């Protein structure tokens, strides 16, 4: 399958027209200077040299990436997001930035990424439910966006929140829902600043479809998919570890780190292997799950000294 590189993708496919008009407003609203150098994790220079590891496995077909989804705001069935997410209004899209940073306030999401060119990243994507895909995302390294917001030295974690809009998201109205909306996720600052961590704005060379988390969603390829929070409307820098939605619902089953780890089973199923989509009942297409989803060389160092057997 031929995938175009970011340079070949017409800007209009990746970025709505307004991005271009908003670039000037950006400098005004954010008063942007060069990013802060005093951030944990990898420095700008190291990030520039970083090689994104190639994934040789075949891409998961687009119709599965955009048709088999977890986005509980639209329902719990894998087909619900594609069926109902067209109701979601994604423009304008305001984002609240708060907490331990210099640039806080409400912004248009376009302003937060203005002037940045999306890159294409082909990543393995491993859900905690033991299915997996290989997905050609396009997006911006999260570090580039966070640097703009100038987190201060008290910022040890960053928390993300999904839109709460029950009139457009039928799953948020469901009375039997066990989720205390809105959906929340978090990363440690060094995880957030790692060059593999992506804020995706597109997939398969097109703007992100609503069911995949339009207009922007996180992608953290070495963690179980639930960390990759969709349709983000708030970014908060904090000194305390956030309590993410799945940890809140089932703390014995889901933790904060959620690093892909074949050696630590989910209490109700094995994590040693995964079903690579597409698969049928006859051909389940099982394959071994890799530590850190195959990104151990790049990220294992983030967890030096941590007990990985408890790192779920």
Residues in contact with ligand MTE by the rule CB under 6 A: 69-73, 127, 162, 183, 212, 225-226, 228-231
CA distance 232 to 160: 6
Q: Which of these, 105, 106, 102, lies nearest to 92 by C-alpha position?
A: 106
Least separation, in Å, of the C-beta of 78 and ligand MTE? Answer: 8
Least separation, in Å, of the C-beta of 91 and ligand MTE? Answer: 18
Do the Cβ atoms of 54 and 297 come closer than 8 Å? no
| Residue whose Cβ sits closest to ligand MTE | 225
Least separation, in Å, of the C-beta of 167 and ligand MTE? Answer: 16
To which residue do tokens 């790692």 refer? 194
**Closer Cβ to ligand MTE, 62 or 241, answer by number:** 62
**Closer Cβ to ligand MTE, 73 or 144, answer by number:** 73
Do the Cβ atoms of 70 and 132 come closer than 8 Å? no
Least separation, in Å, of the C-beta of 242 and ligand MTE? Answer: 14
Do the Cβ atoms of 229 and 248 come closer than 8 Å? no
**Closer Cβ to ligand MTE, 73 or 100, answer by number:** 73
What 3-state class would DSSP assign to 223? strand
CA distance 18 to 32: 19
Least separation, in Å, of the C-beta of 260 and ligand MTE? Answer: 12
Q: Which of these, 74, 118, 112, lies nearest to 207 by C-alpha position?
A: 118
What 3-state class would DSSP assign to 180? coil
Do the Cβ atoms of 118 and 138 come closer than 8 Å? yes
**Closer Cβ to ligand MTE, 22 or 162, answer by number:** 162
**Closer Cβ to ligand MTE, 249 or 263, answer by number:** 249
**Closer Cβ to ligand MTE, 32 or 127, answer by number:** 127
The DSSP H or E segment spanning 187 is strand 184-188
Do the Cβ atoms of 243 and 184 come closer than 8 Å? yes
**Closer Cβ to ligand MTE, 69 or 298, answer by number:** 69
**Closer Cβ to ligand MTE, 69 or 289, answer by number:** 69
293: which residues sit within 8 A by CB, 6+ positions away?
124, 126, 221, 222, 223, 260
CA distance 42 to 192: 10
301: which residues sit within 8 A by CB, 6+ positions away?
none
Least separation, in Å, of the C-beta of 35 and ligand MTE? Answer: 27
Least separation, in Å, of the C-beta of 220 and ligand MTE? Answer: 10
User: What is the DSSP code string of 295-307?
Assistant: THHHHGGGGTTS-
Least separation, in Å, of the C-beta of 10 and ligand MTE? Answer: 23
**Closer Cβ to ligand MTE, 22 or 70, answer by number:** 70
Least separation, in Å, of the C-beta of 70 and ligand MTE? Answer: 4
Peptide bond into 65 cis (omega under 30): no
């Amino acid at each position: 399958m031929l995938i175009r590189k970011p340079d070949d993708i017409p800007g209009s496919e990746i970025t709505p027209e307004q991005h271009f008009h908003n670039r000037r407003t950006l400098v005004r609203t954010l008063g942007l200077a060069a990013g802060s150098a005093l951030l944990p994790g990898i420095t700008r220079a190291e990030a520039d040299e970083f090689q994104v590891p190639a994934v040789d496995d075949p891409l998961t077909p687009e119709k599965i990436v955009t048709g088999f989804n977890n986005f509980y705001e639209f329902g719990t069935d894998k087909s619900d997001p594609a069926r109902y997410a067209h109701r979601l209004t994604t423009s304008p899209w305001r984002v609240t930035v708060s907490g331990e940073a210099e640039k806080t306030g409400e912004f248009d999401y376009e302003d937060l990424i203005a002037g940045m060119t999306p890159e294409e990243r082909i990543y393995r994507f491993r859900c905690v439910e033991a299915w997996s895909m290989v997905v050609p995302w396009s997006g911006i390294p999260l570090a580039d966006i966070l640097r703009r917001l100038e987190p201060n030295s008290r910022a040890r974690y960053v928390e993300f929140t999904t839109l709460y809009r029950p009139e457009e998201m039928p799953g948020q109205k469901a009375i039997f829902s066990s989720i205390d909306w809105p959906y929340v996720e978090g990363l440690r600052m060094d995880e957030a600043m790692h060059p593999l961590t992506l804020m995706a704005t597109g997939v398969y060379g097109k703007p992100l479809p609503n069911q995949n988390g339009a207009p922007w969603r996180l992608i953290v390829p070495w963690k179980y998919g639930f960390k990759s929070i969709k349709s983000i409307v708030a970014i908060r820098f904090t000194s305390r570890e956030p309590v993410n939605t799945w940890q809140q619902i089932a703390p014995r089953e889901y933790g904060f780190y959620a690093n892909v780890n074949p050696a630590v089973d989910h209490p109700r199923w094995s994590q040693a292997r995964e079903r690579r989509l597409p698969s049928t009942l006859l051909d389940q297409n099982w394959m071994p799950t890799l530590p850190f989803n195959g990104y151990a060389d790049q990220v294992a160092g983030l967890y030096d000294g941590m007990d990985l057997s408890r790192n779920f």
